[in-house]
Structure 1
Amino acid sequence: MNPRYLGKVVSVVNDTTVVVNIGADHSIRTGQTFVVIGLGETITDPDTGEVLEQLELVRGRVEATHVQQKISTLTSIDVQRDPDIKEIKRSGHAALYSFGPTTESVRMGLDRTKPLISPRVGDYVIED
């Protein structure tokens, strides 16, 4: 295995959580952050024919949330925000016509944990 890769995904719990084959025996600590990557196609220079590298597909950033001796549970730490929602309320006759008192407000979108992008058993983890 390439020394850049610290460990491999051995289980996909759900779209935000994976288990990797490194743990306390490898000095992994709770709170430590990583990037989960999959390997894509091998990239070749079209002019020279030289094989450059294998493309790394970033699945997402994760944090060690539970560390055991030989495995660790990693959970997504990227956040996505739902869109803001603009609300317009009309009262009385304004509800029937486009005049009269209105109230406008904006409800802020919620921050949610962003899912990992198609995590798979066999993906790698690297230091963040």
Structure 2
Amino acid sequence: MTDKSLGPLGQALAAANKDREPSRSKDATASGIAHLIRLGKLASIEKPKTFPALVAKVIDDFTLTINRGSDHEITKGDRFLVYSIDPEELIDPETGESLGYLEIIRGTGIAIHVQEKMTTIESSRYTNRGRTIRRQSGAFASLSGETIEEPEQKLLPFDSPEVGDKVKPTY
């Protein structure tokens, strides 16, 4: 007997559990859902893991390719943090508890080209160099000097990136 108020999923689960012992209903529920997914009557609700992504190729010191693309909702202009994981587990000296593993920053980047399954990112770190220019004129030039600052920006490379380094979005 099937209760129509349960809806299609509830009805399918009830049918899968009808011949099971109550203690096995959890296993039957899981197997019933798996069976419905295999039959194409229920879409898998498990979303594929998007991040962390991985560096798939190091093109040069300033440009990397990662293994995520438009299929993973990445768009041109998205910003990312590139990092590796220090293999040494950090322990809190006060409590003795594990703090986890330190992320070693390789740099930040911006998506410059997005394909379905991969994205090319370019370093987005800059250094500012200030330059001062003094202009003097007239008889009292030393008293009436003018100072102009013209900051100069220089693009910085990623810090020793490697294939397999992790990548996550920054917001």
TM class, shorter-length: 0.7 to 0.9
Q: What whole-Å deviation, never above 9, does each CA across 1:27-74 have from its counterpart, x for those lacking one?
A: 110001111111113211234432221100111111110001111001
* 1:67 and 2:114 aligned: yes
Per the alignment, residue 112 of structure 1 pairs with: 154
Q: 1:77 is aligned with what amino acid?
A: S
Per the alignment, residue 25 of structure 1 pairs with: 71
The answer to whether the Cα contact below 8 Å between 1:87 and 1:107 also exists between their aligned partners in 2 is: no
Q: How many residues align?
A: 119
Flag the 1:27–1:85 CA change in 2: closer, same or farther, 3 A: same
The answer to whether the Cα contact below 8 Å between 1:79 and 1:111 also exists between their aligned partners in 2 is: yes
The answer to whether the Cα contact below 8 Å between 2:50 and 2:72 also exists between their aligned partners in 1 is: no
Q: Identify which of structures 1 and 2 has the higher relative contact order when contacts are C-alpha pairs closer than 8 Å and 6+ apart.
A: 1
Q: Comparing both structures, which one devotes a greater share of its residues to strand?
A: 1
Q: Comparing both structures, which one devotes a greater share of its residues to helix?
A: 2
Q: How far apart, CA to CA, are the structure 1 residues paired with 2:89 and 2:109?
A: 25
Q: How far apart, CA to CA, are the structure 1 residues paired with 2:161 and 2:51?
A: 16
Greater shift, 67-76 or 44-53, is seen at: 44-53
Q: 1:72 is aligned with what amino acid?
A: T
Per the alignment, residue 34 of structure 1 pairs with: 80
Q: Which contiguous aligned blocks of 4+ residues in structure 1 show a shift greater than 4 angstroms?
A: 85-88, 101-107
Q: Is there any run of 5+ residues in structure 1 with no aligned partner, and where?
A: 89-100
Which residue among 52, 63, 78 is the counterpart of 1:6? 52
Q: How far apart, CA to CA, are the structure 2 residues paired with 1:107 and 1:34?
A: 31
DSSP-derived class of the 1:25 partner: helix
Q: Is there any run of 5+ residues in structure 2 with no aligned partner, and where?
A: 1-48, 136-140
CA RMSD of aligned residues (A): 2.6
Correspondence 1:42-81 to 2 at 5 A: 42-81=89-128
What percentage of residue pairs aligned between the two structures are identical?
33
Structure 1 residue 22 displacement after superposition: 0.3
Structure whose CA Rg is larger: 2
Flag the 1:48–1:107 CA change in 2: closer, same or farther, 3 A: closer
Q: How far apart, CA to CA, are the structure 1 residues paired with 2:61 and 2:104?
A: 16
Relative to the length of structure 1, the TM-score reads 0.74
Per the alignment, residue 131 of structure 2 pairs with: 84
